[in-house]
Structure 1
Amino acid sequence: MPEMPEVETVRKTLSEIVLGKIIKEVKVWYPNIIIGDSESFSDQLKEKQIIKVDRYAKFLLFRLSSNLTIVSHLRMEGKYRLASPQDAKDKHDHVEFIFTDGTSLRYNDVRKFGRMQLVKTGTEKERTGIKKLGPEALSDDFTLSYFKQALKNKKKNIKATLLDQDVVSGLGNIYVDETLWLSEIYPERPANSLTDNEIKKLYLAINQIISQAIKERGTTVHTFLDAEGQTGGYQKHLKVYGRAGEKCFRCGNVLQKTRVAGRGTTFCPKCQEVK
């Protein structure tokens, strides 16, 4: 699943190719992608201009004229690409935004898990999945004092807590494993057992890794591509994710893989020892 750095990379590339374009027509080939009535979705978007592309955590926000916003979640494998209405339809193309300039934007999703919802701008946190999210990494709301307080009431393990998105949003399996390794915290430690010093190390690690991953245009491990069809570069810097059985870059011990919170989890048994 694209995580915050990947979605931010998609946002940036989309901004370069769709800003200012006016929607002439919307084709919805797979209505389940749309939350709500797909015909109403298409009708309301006619003659609307794309003013800005924002992001919150893993959600893309297409800001349109007439005070409308398309909230888009890519889920596992959703992708956008600039195309032409005359291009042959790929079997995994599910939505097409046709613009007045003769180009189009297509949404492609092999698993069909992605979703789009049209709402009034400013109501995203009340009407969409964003309302369930905590502050995103790197944001002004994600402070160390907030993070300490939020973890005090969390009895579940720290990996599950970070994956749940309600304490901090934007991290998925890749970056949770990486931040826990960097801060030397065992993935199954109860979140409320972390000391103030450990919480500070984890807080700094989250911001550091997310910042670096954004600079590297995200991580391509399986299928992630940005809106220009380019891969990310952070996979070259991964310390634990995907490296089970290899040596830890910090201590030389062999990295181990287990399952935590239903997800494959790679860690160093020495650097991240059980406490």
Structure 2
Amino acid sequence: MPEIAEVARLTHFLQLHLVGKKISKVLAPDDSSIFGKVGTSGPEFQRALTGKTVIGAGNQGKYFWFLLDKPPHPVIHCGMTGWVHIRGQQTTYNRYEEKSKGDRNQWPPKYWKFQLETDSTPKVEVAFTDARRFGRVRLVDCPAEEIRKHSPLVENGPDPVVDKDVFTEEYLRQKMTSRHVPIKALLLDQAVISGIGNWVGDEIMYQAKLHPEQYCDDFDDSDIATLYKAIRYVCDTAVEKLGDSDEFPEDWLFKHRWGKGKKGAVTTLPNGESFTFITVGGRTSCVVPNLQKKKGRTTIDGVKEEGNASGKGSESRFFEVKSGKEAAGNPKDEGRPAKRAKTSESKAVKKEQEQSAPASKQNVKKQKVDVKEPTQPVPEVGRRRSTRLNSAN
């Protein structure tokens, strides 16, 4: 999925080739997933852009847009596979370039969702493609300077590169201490920080040498400062390089993590440290266990475990460590993990009931044969069962 760096790359190309030009032709066949999910349609998008002049382009996290001389303005989310192509330009970034080589000279490109061209000389031809159709294209009807005050941009958190005055260390501390989720899940929450996706999140945690499973409210001030610096470093560097992975630093986890599941894949970094993959918040996460130590409470498959180095985590979120009983009265325990805890308790009760239940008919029969003179009276239920068994025989 295009993340903060890739979307910055798209914005760069739009600013370079489209801003200042008038759109003379638009093609946008209706697609209920691309347009309809956000309350517009292909024909409506086509009418809104035709004849308008592009006066600017911008990005916030995983969203980008281009501003027209008159509203409404198109705002686009790439989803999983969305991308912008400009005829005659190589807009793709190196990690995915191999996939596009065969279609480089094809126009319009495969899986296009809308096309437009300008009346300039030479004319500029632009197409948005999305093979998996998780992208979203919408129109925002507001003055150009107010576009970030409207949905969907207003619901998203600050962009760590664009919004340096908002995304501060104090902002991060406040978000971390007011929530109780694995830190990787917090980083991926677009309402908290815009633009961080899976690979950026993993790179940040690796550079900070912090574990992605640790709960966000279990970090001390020193760790928060380290994490903030890592977020700024990774995001600033990736955007500066416009998502060109060949330009990323050689010591980045990014350069070596892409062989998962491939035969003979390397799982060791140049510095000799091994990396592995775990699941955090439903997403695959790349971790270097020897460098990213668990401190405080962590989460594995929805159930918390005790930490080690900091002395925190003496209490489990879902179970009392000493008694093994389900913790009660904590509103944060709602949801799926709490159901798992309840299920475990039910199984334990059921097992206890089975162990205390009367013996089966077969066991009673065996007891009657093997034990001629029981030292204790047979329970009433047992005598009735024995009587029935004798009468049956």
Q: Quick one: which amino acid aligns to residue 57 of structure 2?
A: V
CA contact (8 A) 2:277 2:287 kept: yes
Q: Higher mean Cα deviation, 89-98 or 152-161?
A: 89-98
**2:286 matches 1:270:** no
**2:153 matches 1:130:** yes
Q: Quick one: which amino acid aligns to residue 111 of structure 2?
A: H
Other-structure match for 1:238: 252
Alignment deviations for residues 172-218 of structure 1 (CA, whole Å, 9 cap, x no partner): 01111011011111110000111111010000000001111122221
Structure 1 residues 243 and 2 mapped into 2: Cα distance closer, same or farther (>3 Å)? Answer: same
More strand by share: 1
Matches within 5 A, 1:176-191: 176-191=201-216
Other-structure match for 2:232: 207
Structure 1 residues 249 and 149 mapped into 2: Cα distance closer, same or farther (>3 Å)? Answer: farther
Matches within 5 A, 1:248-259: 248=269, 252-259=272-279
Greater relative contact order structure (CA < 8 Å, 6+ sep):
1
CA contact (8 A) 1:50 1:62 kept: yes
SS of structure 2 residue aligned to 1:140? coil
Give 1:26 shift. Answer: 1.6
> Structure 1 length as normaliser, TM-score?
0.86
Other-structure match for 2:115: 96
Alignment deviations for residues 214-238 of structure 1 (CA, whole Å, 9 cap, x no partner): 2222155xxxxxxxxxxx6438553
Structure 1 CA distance, aligned partners of 2:201 and 2:135? 22
**2:46 matches 1:13:** no
Other-structure match for 1:116: 137
Matches within 5 A, 1:47-196: 47-83=51-87, 88-101=107-120, 102-119=123-140, 120=142, 121-125=144-148, 127-138=150-161, 139-196=164-221
Structure 1 CA distance, aligned partners of 2:12 and 2:124? 19
Alignment deviations for residues 62-81 of structure 1 (CA, whole Å, 9 cap, x no partner): 01101442111112111112
Structure 1 residues 88 and 149 mapped into 2: Cα distance closer, same or farther (>3 Å)? Answer: closer
Q: Quick one: which amino acid aligns to residue 294 of structure 2?
A: V
CA contact (8 A) 1:158 1:189 kept: yes
CA contact (8 A) 2:273 2:288 kept: yes
Structure 1 residues 235 and 183 mapped into 2: Cα distance closer, same or farther (>3 Å)? Answer: closer
More helix by share: 2
Structure 2 CA distance, aligned partners of 1:76 and 1:204? 28
Q: Quick one: which amino acid aligns to residue 170 of structure 1?
A: G
Q: Provide structure 1 residue ranges, at least 5 long, that are not aligned to the other structure.
A: 221-231
Give 1:31 shift. Answer: 2.5
Give 1:124 shift. Answer: 3.7
Percentage identity across aligned positions?
A: 26
Q: Provide structure 2 residue ranges, at least 5 long, that are not aligned to the other structure.
A: 89-105, 261-265, 296-393
Structure 1 residues 195 and 92 mapped into 2: Cα distance closer, same or farther (>3 Å)? Answer: same
CA contact (8 A) 2:18 2:124 kept: no
**Pairwise CA RMSD:** 2.2
SS of structure 1 residue aligned to 2:253? coil
Q: Quick one: which amino acid aligns to residue 157 of structure 2?
A: G
Other-structure match for 2:48: 44
Q: Higher mean Cα deviation, 63-72 or 202-211?
A: 63-72
Alignment deviations for residues 104-148 of structure 1 (CA, whole Å, 9 cap, x no partner): 211111112111111123554454322321111132100111111
Q: Quick one: which amino acid aligns to residue 11 of structure 2?
A: R
Structure 2 CA distance, aligned partners of 1:91 and 1:8? 23
Structure 1 residues 141 and 88 mapped into 2: Cα distance closer, same or farther (>3 Å)? Answer: closer
